[in-house]
Amino acid sequence: MVRFFRGINLLGQAIVQPDVPLAELAETAGVVIPTNCTSGTCGTCMITLLSGEDPLPDELPPGLDEEMVEEQARLGCIGWPSGDVDIDVRPPL
């Protein structure tokens, strides 16, 4: 299950599906994660991983850097969670 939060408010949840990125799972839950390039380049869809695993590719996509990743930033358009995750739909501050 993916749970989408904004702060402490639970906005919605969706069942994890292989090959369906977080941004699309959000849509099925009625939650908006803004997207633009949908390819990991622009950073528009940046969210915060609160718990669980959302593995990153070995080479970081242009929309992320090491510092952001340390703050738990992930990209909704290319995020394929590997199990239950909690997400804040905003980028880390």
CB 53 within 8 A of CB 82: yes
Interface region with ligand FES, contact rule CB under 6 A, candidates 2-10, 12-20, 36-44, 85-93: 36-44
| CB atoms near residue 61 (< 10 Å) | 17
Q: Of the two residues 16 and 42, which places its CB atom closer to ligand FES in the complex?
A: 42
Closest among 72, 65, 75 to 26, alpha carbons compared: 75
Q: Of the two residues 3 and 21, which places its CB atom closer to ligand FES in the complex?
A: 21
- What residue ranges bind ligand FES (CB under 6 A)? 35-38, 40-45, 63, 75, 77
